[in-house]
Amino acid sequence: QVKLLQSGAALVKPGASVKMSCKASGYTFTDYWVSWVKQSHGKSLEWIGEIYPNSGATNFNEKFKGKATLTVDKSTSTAYMELSRLTSEDSAIYYCTRPYYGSYDYWGQGVMVTVSS
């Protein structure tokens, strides 16, 4: 069955970067985009961007351009998102998802990122 397994929680200092992973299994990784979604504490969901593993093509929400970098490793069916120049506003749960005709049919369990000195 399809699974998206994300890396563990991260505690990072302001100004630093964090890189998280999303390992896909149960389907052909290169056939589907991978999207990333942010959920700030007690708030709703924001689409960050997406990457197509087969080509490395990306699309971003303007709000996250320069903040998020998306990459993949096709050999391990793993997608990565790196967030840079972290501030308290970046403290949130980050999900990887598999787009399905615009909606998202599978979600990772989420990575909690805490930005604190």
| Residue 29 or 95 having the CB closest to another protein | 95
| Residue 84: closest CA among 19, 36, 17 | 17
Length of the chain: 117
15 versus 26: smaller Cβ distance to another protein:
26
Q: How far is the CB of 96 from another protein (least distance, A)?
A: 10
Strands (E), 18-91: 18-25, 34-39, 45-52, 57-60, 68-73, 78-83
Closer residue to another protein (CB): 13 or 63: 63
Instruction: Give dist(CA 79, CA 30) in Å, integer.
Output: 11
Select the residue interacting with another protein from 58, 69, 104, 112 (CB under 8 A).
104
- Using the minimum distance from each CB to another protein, give the nearer residue, 53 or 108: 108
Q: Give the pair of three-digit tokens for residue 15.
A: 């100004």
Q: Does 40 bind another protein (CB under 8 A)?
A: no
Give the other-Cβ count within 10 Å of 58's Cβ.
16
CB 33, min distance to another protein, A: 12
> For binding to another protein (CB under 8 A), which residues are involved?
4, 43-47, 59, 61-63, 95, 97, 100-109
